[in-house]
Amino acid sequence: MPGRRRCAARGPENEAAKPERLAEKGAAQGAATPLRGKPQRRDRGTVPAASGTPAKTPSTLGRPPPLALGPASGAKWPSKPPATPRSAPRSSASPPESGAGTSSATSDNVKVVIRIRPARPEEEAAGSACVQQRSGQVLEADGPGHERRRRDELHYDAVLGADAAQDDVFQLVGLPVVEHCMSGLNASIFAYGQTGSGKTHTMTGMLSNADQRGLAPRIFDALFARIAQEETRLGREKLRYSVRCTYLEIYREELTDLLRPAGPPLALRLDAARGAFVDGLEERDIFNSDDAMALIRCGSEHRRSAATAMNADSSRSHAVLACQVESMRREDSGLASVRSSRLYLVDLAGSERVRASGAGGAQLRETCAINSSLTTLGRVIAELVEAQRRGAAARHHVPYRDSRLTFLLQDCLGGNARTVIVAAVSPAAEHAGETRSTLEFAARAKCIRNRAVVNRDTRGSADALRGQLACLERELELARSESRGPLLEELAAAQADADRERAAASAASEEAATVRVDAARAAVDARRHRKEAARWEGHAFALQLERDALVAAMVRAAGAGTAAAAAESPLELAQRLGAERAAAVEGIAAEQSARRAAEDRAAAAESHSSGLEQALEAAERRAEAAREQAARLAARERQLRGAYKDIQSIMASLPPPTPRSTPREGAPPAPWHALTSPGSSAAAWESSAGEASSSGDPSAL
């Protein structure tokens, strides 16, 4: 093809110069976006006062307050920087006036801290510094390119001068991050800047010197101190923390475990639930700050570094120290609330110009890979800011997949995290271009909005509910085995007693009815006997009258001499009347005796009926008590069954438990085939992902 022939005709010297041109383009990528607004022109070395306030020198500048990354920290940064004079308009480092820079309860901009490295003796001898601190949030820097005699006033969240100590950086950046981890919010800290500007010193420092330790060891010291404080306050039986760490190196788009550097390169995978993670990365449990120091020391010893013309100990790779913090708090109800947070401490490789570094061969390829990765990071930030400016409806593409660094840490850039970028700059005049590029990168990153939320792990609550369900099942089974038999026997006995009492009450009721009938019959007989006695009394009275009349007649007959003519003698008549009277008296006595006997039988029947009624009432009371006891036993059994069904319904609505580090056998996560590496072929990426897909169980980053 003609185009290919023309490229071949350029000669090998052009091909050899191609990596250098790529590196130069990558290092200068930050300068592609100009600063908004017209910067103020100032003479080099002059620091004017703002709003009538006397100018401050770096030695008299106060320490800025801690970064307010969200509701967990105490102090809060203003939504806009302090007002500047009208003669000195803000540059692009200032937050925008539009809604793109405002933050809400769930949204917060990336915080940017500028740290100026102290000047070396040869740099001080060379001339004035290209950057100078004015206050805790304002610095002055040389203008870009041919306008370097111009001074621009730039605003950031915080500016640390050359006299800032390691503890100043920790108080400003590290403490809020620790509080966010304790609250269940994800957090990340990036160290960005030119090689030799102090990134690794800021992030790690000298582990053997307590005063020179960087952010990572100080953060772990404060984190375990806060964990001990919380566990002591609430008790380990109610609150427990767990900390796990990984240490990853990204070298020329290859992933290496710094805790096991001899192993094969790792693969970056994508999971629908966990997002992007590194398959096979070792995850260690950390129990105290000494364990964390040992892990940091182990990873730092295995990290790739080399000496260049710009830095005697230049880091040739990106280092990502990830920390997973989980807290399980057991409530009084028996359930457990689980919060988790992830902390990323990212020490980026330093950008450098190929001509200034004097690199060649393998170092040249390393430099090209570093600059290409940082270029991709800058492009992702620029596209992300543009996408957030346009809004969700615009569907602007953000190229996270163009590098493994941005794809792995995409939550830290516009996602679920609180992010701080510490931009380290050199004050040397010979590095004014690199310093300006770093400041412009920080200005763009400051416009990114993240949305951090408290991570509540439903898996922990589900595990707690499963534990409670198991306890209730055991309790129910125990109640069935120990109490169900006696309860059923007691219920059966109570029901049998109730049946017997009902039968006895029914028999007593029937007997009482019979006695009532007998009493009624006896009363009828008594009334009949009374009537008969009254009739006999009347008959006896009539006989008495007849007797008296006969006696009177006899007396008259005797007096008249007619006694012989009488039909019967008076004696016989008296005997007959006496016999009739005796018979009448006997009849009356018999009737009275029968009446008294009937009345006695009626009284006995009434008494027996009253006793039977009392026995019936007692039997009914015993039957009612037996029924109430049976109802209580049935209600208790229904309560146990209802509690069991409620817990089963709760468990049915919960998601299945997600394995922490070991997926189900036969279902490994899908390899991440979509990654493409600038400067490497797609086939190499697919082959590395395919090799990683046959590895063991993945572990979360």
Residues placed in the known binding site? 193-200
Beta strands in 21-118 (DSSP E): 108-109, 111-116
Whole-number Å distance between alpha carbons of 407 and 404? 5
Say which residues have a Cβ less than 8 Å from residue 497's Cβ, sequence separation at least 6. 622, 623, 626
Residue pair 381/448 in contact (Cβ under 8 Å)? The answer is yes
Binding-site residue positions for ATP: 193-200
DSSP for residue 32: G
Name residue 59's amino acid: S
Whole-number Å distance between alpha carbons of 436 and 426? 10
Name residue 45's amino acid: G
Q: Residue 661, exposed/middle/buried by CB under 10 A (0-12, 13-18, 19+)?
A: exposed
* Phi, psi values for residue 496, rounded to 5°: -65, -45
Name which of 302, 324, 190, 314 is nearest 257 in CA terms: 302
Residue pair 393/47 in contact (Cβ under 8 Å)? The answer is no
* Residue 653 β-bridge partners: none
Whole-number Å distance between alpha carbons of 384 and 447? 9
Q: At what angle do helices 289-302 and 215-234 cross, to 10 degrees?
A: 160
| Type and span of the H or E element at 691 | helix 682-693
Whole-number Å distance between alpha carbons of 76 and 70? 8
Whole-number Å distance between alpha carbons of 473 and 476? 5
Name residue 372's amino acid: S
